[in-house]
Structure 1
Amino acid sequence: MTADGAEPLLRAERVDVVRDGRYLLRGVSMAVLPGEHWAVLGANGAGKTTLLALLGAVSHPTRGEVRVLGRQLGRVDLRELRSYLGHVNPRHPLRSPLTLRQVVLTGVTNSIELFPRWQPTGQQAAHADALIATLGIAHRAEAPWPTLSQGERGRALIARALMPAPRLLLLDEPATGLDLTAREQLLASLDDLRLRHPELASVLVTHHLEELPASTTHALLLRDGETVAAGPVAEVLTTELVSACFRHPIRITRDEGRWAATAAARGPAR
């Protein structure tokens, strides 16, 4: 609990994950409070996916403690705990031609396909339509999944994850495969969503600073499974720290709330 009495929705304390004698994470700690929006960044193999699996109650740490929504991993049913989280995976394994609206409604049942003979309540249907509108895809609500662009699918999956009204949203590289227009539409939708739901917290994993919404509040930099820096985004996403994280001289700039990374002209990263 923080000084103002807020209880973290997520807390990891000195977490190690070891597989086949190799450390995937070593001594990683973070705490996510309501209304905070974290970015987890690092090169490929830095441990981002491993950390997200812990935060999403998919796996257990080898050592250390992870609490998700106040419940300690290892002392709770993971399947039940996952039902309280909004987890967005852009590699959604849908095989049937459900409409966008139907895919969003599968968030109620936490299933990939619609259950036979299942029908949403009027309240659930209205909630789905409201989320679809918030994410700017109402004009595509009845379009079959195979006809949707990757960007439209990404926004639909965020709406799906929000159907159970979770307090925490986990986004695993949501801009993967998007062109420039689709990426900007997705990020604008996330900014709007966070404005409309001020108590919602989120963790977004990426290795591209250009894929961070302007509403990002905190960041964690990982390198080889260890924390380079963690804390308020203005203190963490600096030229020095990002260069150290990626082992390459990178100049970080921010304009109108958005970040850009370019190769620095001089000076090796430490």
Structure 2
Amino acid sequence: MSSTQPSTQPQPVPAPGEARVIAALEGVGVQRYTTGQIILDAVDWSVRSGEHWALLGANGAGKTTILRLVGALMFPTVGSVEVLGHRLGSVDVRELRAVIGLVSGAQKVPQDATGHTVVLTGATGTVQPLWRKYDEATRERAHELLAELDCKELAERPFGVCSGGQRARILIARALMADPRLLLLDEPFNALDLPSREDLIDALHRLALARPELATVTVTHHLEELSPSIGHALLLREGRVQARGPVDEALTGERMTACFGRPIEVSRHEGRWLARSGKR
């Protein structure tokens, strides 16, 4: 599929009080060419500025595939994907990726690089630092982002000796170096212990409050990992949308039961969620 430079046509200006569409999937399907397996089927979904979404579903439901689509890392087999006002297939995805924040455990990071150096690489979108590209303002911004994620003490600590929760916050700071309007988090709580999980939840909640225009999409397996700032949820089952919308409508016991195929009870207390399997 050919790539072109991003369109220079002016984008529609939202009406006062109307949130801008950041990402939109329409009739999207993804099929694995080698086996014919349907990964996603007829997915319609949109994310607006300032919205914070959770993507939930069993393993293999298609969560990471959706994240890769809105991260401009792959193309749909059918349907359309628009991100930041540009339709995939008519934009240079390299330029689009540069302004989308992505945090994933699969990211390659030099283990001996300090926390500050890892954050700096977010300015160039590289694995290794390009020292000549970083002026004093860029270096100071990296320090500010570490402070914003409440981990400024990690600036000189090698990434490889940081805990899982510390690494996650460093990678989020790195993703914010490009000042993205969309931040994608692929299972950021994976393998974290309870204190580290809570620290990361608090950091993401503060981030949402401090950046009202930022949209986030978080892939997770557990409702307990959702911060109070998560206001919307998309539930997937075998590549199809099971539910989507405000969390109070999507994260019900009935819909979670249908999504995961077993009885699930859902409760909420002071903005935090709890899900457990009920008796059959």
Equivalent-residue separation in structure 2 for 1:31 and 1:96 (angstroms): 36
Residues 38-77 of structure 1, C-alpha deviation per residue, up to 9 Å, x if partnerless?
A: 0010000101111111010000001111000010011111
Question: Displacement, 1:118?
Answer: 2.1
Q: Is 2:228–2:271's contact at 8 Å kept on the other side of the alignment? A: yes
- Residues 157-168 of structure 1 correspond to what in structure 2 (within 5 A)? 157-168=171-182
**How many residues are paired up?**
265
> Counterpart of 1:9 in 2: which secondary structure?
strand
Q: Is 1:90–1:157's contact at 8 Å kept on the other side of the alignment? A: no
Question: Displacement, 1:94?
Answer: 1.9
TM-score (norm 1): 0.95
Q: Is 1:43–1:223's contact at 8 Å kept on the other side of the alignment? A: yes
Residues 15-56 of structure 1, C-alpha deviation per residue, up to 9 Å, x if partnerless?
A: 111113221000111111110000010000101111111010
Q: 1:55 aligns with which of 52, 66, 70?
A: 70
Q: Does 2:47 align with 1:29? A: no
Equivalent-residue separation in structure 2 for 1:119 and 1:146 (angstroms): 24
Which residue matches 2:224?
Answer: 210
Q: One-letter code of the match for 1:57?
A: A
Which residue matches 1:174?
Answer: 188
In structure 2, list runs of 5 or more residues that go unmatched: 1-11
In structure 1, list runs of 5 or more residues that go unmatched: none
- Residues 209-228 of structure 1 correspond to what in structure 2 (within 5 A)? 209-228=223-242
> Counterpart of 2:132 in 1: which secondary structure?
coil
Equivalent-residue separation in structure 2 for 1:18 and 1:92 (angstroms): 25
Equivalent-residue separation in structure 2 for 1:105 and 1:255 (angstroms): 38
- Residues 90-129 of structure 1 correspond to what in structure 2 (within 5 A)? 90-115=105-130, 117-118=131-132, 120-129=134-143
Q: One-letter code of the match for 2:122?
A: G
Q: Is 1:132–1:159's contact at 8 Å kept on the other side of the alignment? A: yes
Equivalent-residue separation in structure 2 for 1:108 and 1:95 (angstroms): 16
Equivalent-residue separation in structure 1 for 2:37 and 2:52 (angstroms): 30
Which segments of structure 1 move beyond 3 Å, counting only runs of 4 or more? 1-6
Q: One-letter code of the match for 1:22?
A: Q
Identity %: 49
